[in-house]
Structure 1
């Protein structure tokens, strides 16, 4: 029976140690980096990790390839920060897992990664990353321009919706009577206008020819919606009327009033109303076949 040589034994031992080491190696469980943040707010970046049987040597954070924070528990000063444009670390709120950024700016946007390193001699290293985009919200709700107070049938509507001064530019959409406008021929798309400080203004036009179905109840509703990612949603709505439209209920009331008679004890006892009553009675009697001489005797 052959026995393993010294070289073979060392190889097997190294292999077993490798397997044991891998079973207890450090892992990155989750990297929580906010996808979007509003300019001027704070951002919390978290790197959750498991060390197994190992001890943490350091946690480091980078924006791109530039380090801006480190936590080394073995040092007398456990926390250190490094100057990176747009990255303002709140040291008191940061620790061995989380780093907090204050007053985020547009230039704070970018790719962030955490690096976890265990104590020697192995110095296991794991990296996790994610992207964050800082948004500058529009100065106001969408602005509707060119809207008239009323439109005639078969008149062309031509209006614009503007969402001013944001980064990135807002995504705009039009709704007519609560229905999203999808027809390309109705929409006029414009390139975002570049503003100072890198901001942008979005504009979307709407144009169509009115028809009867656009005025249910004599009213046409126009609404513009502005969106940015999942954190901004604002709308502006207005109603216009059909030129010369008379509401159905008013028309019906007038029609009934002009062609009706009133008989009752509460009718005004005036000479004119009595004459009208008598004249109406005569017409009715004649229509029902009463003799003229009898009708004259009644008068």
Structure 2
């Protein structure tokens, strides 16, 4: 910023001089307000307002004052040159502690409704700039909740630890693991997070639900974890550890953990294809009978031959062979050894042809 100085003599303008009184660069920088996301009712909380004043070429910037607001109402002011330097403008539900300094403001939220909301600090530099910057932050207050109709006090924080249900004692590879977690009676509703063997569970495996209780104004949170057990879930001790954490800002944090065994019972193996063929062959083998053989309804040599081919493959049986074996078994001959059947007798009636065949 510059100031224009005009010098006049005898009613006429004779000279125009620019005198630099203040550098155009800002000297008040990096104003920052640090406020916790949430504070607990009747517990001290510290709000911090940081700033930086830079030395200029012709002067050194100093602090003039810091104002603190809740919403649009000023409730505290700090002026280092004033006596006393700290001034408090009471607001119902906010108690300013004597531990307050220029940068740190210590308060005790007494009333949840009036203490919760937007806070801001306004920093003003001293003369000659009187530069001002204001920053904002929001703070929730958690504590007791008074029902308007019944005039009863309800705690905003859950009374109990979160509860985990439906986790079985053991699981096998490929089985489905289901675990449900709940945290009831809080305002706001508690956030639920699952951990599997110390690692956060995958978001696609978690389902959330929040319900409100109209009678007390409090809320309950429910979360379900579901996934298929795989080898990556197994550790050296063959355990699967599932933990559920319930938290409300940085004020409330409770966890519950349960473990399940990994059931490594080998699966029942099915018989080999050769074993299955033997079982089928035993079932289709005709039972030997002595004397008269009764025909089984619905079976014939062609069907039996086809069943033998289905089991052993290829053309290992023909309809004539099966019919012959049925007749042999019916007569009481159960010998299954291979025998040389010889060649049929050659019948040639022409003497010349017979001589050629015999040769």
Give TM-score scaled by structure 2 length. Answer: 0.50
Partner of 1:39: 40
Which residue does the alignment assign to 1:275? none
Q: Tell me, what secondary structure is at the counterpart of 2:21? A: helix
Matched, 1:143 2:144: no
1:65 and 2:72 are equivalent in the alignment: yes
- Preserved CA contact (<8 Å) 1:218 1:245: no
Q: Structure 2 regions of 5+ residues with no counterpart?
A: 1-5, 143-156, 267-359
Distance of 1:206 and 1:162 partners within structure 2: 12
Equivalent residue for 1:293? none
Asked if 1:189 corresponds to 2:208, the answer is yes
Q: For 2:210 and 2:136, locate their aligned partners in 1 and report how far apart those are by CA, in whole Å.
A: 30
Q: Look up the match of 1:27.
A: 28
Aligned residue pairs, count: 235
- Asked if 2 retains the 8 angstrom alpha-carbon contact of 1:159 and 1:205, the reply is yes
Note the C-alpha offset of 1:102: 1.8
Distance 1:93 1:237 in 2: 41
Q: Aligned residue for 1:273?
A: none
- Across the aligned residues of Structure 1 and Structure 2, the Cα RMSD in angstroms comes to 4.2
Q: Match for residue 88 of structure 1?
A: 95
Structure 1, unaligned stretches of length 5 or more? 247-299
Give me the whole-angstrom Cα distance separating, in 1, the residues matched to 2:216 and 2:16.
Answer: 65
Supply the distance in 2 between the matched residues of 1:68 and 1:183 (Cα, whole angstroms). 44
Q: Does 1:174 align with 2:194?
A: yes
> Is residue 224 from structure 1 mapped to residue 224 from structure 2 by the alignment?
no
In the TM superposition, what whole-angstrom CA distance separates every residue of 1:40-98 from its partner, at most 9, and x where no partner exists? 432222334438645654321112211111134555544322233442211x2123333
Taking the aligned partners of 1:48 and 1:8, their CA distance within structure 2 comes to: 49
Tell me which residue corresponds to 1:206.
225
* Distance in structure 2 (CA, Å) of the matches to 1:124 and 1:200: 48
Partner of 1:17: 21
Separation (CA, whole Å) in 2 of partners of 1:197 and 1:93: 36
Matches of 1:196 and 1:146, distance apart in 2? 29
Name the SS for the 1:239 alignment partner: strand
1:124 to 122, 130, 143: 130
Quote the offset at 1:99 in angstroms: 1.9
CA distance in 2, matches of 1:80, 1:191: 44
Greater relative contact order, per chain length (Cα 8 Å cut-off, separation 6+) = 1
What are the Cα deviations for residues 180-225 of structure 1, in whole angstroms up to 9, with x where unaligned? 43263x4332125357775432210234566899787775433223
Please state how far the C-alpha of 1:27 moved relative to its aligned partner: 1.3
Shift in Å, 1:232: 5.5
CA distance in 2, matches of 1:165, 1:43: 24
Distance 1:153 1:8, change over 3 A: farther
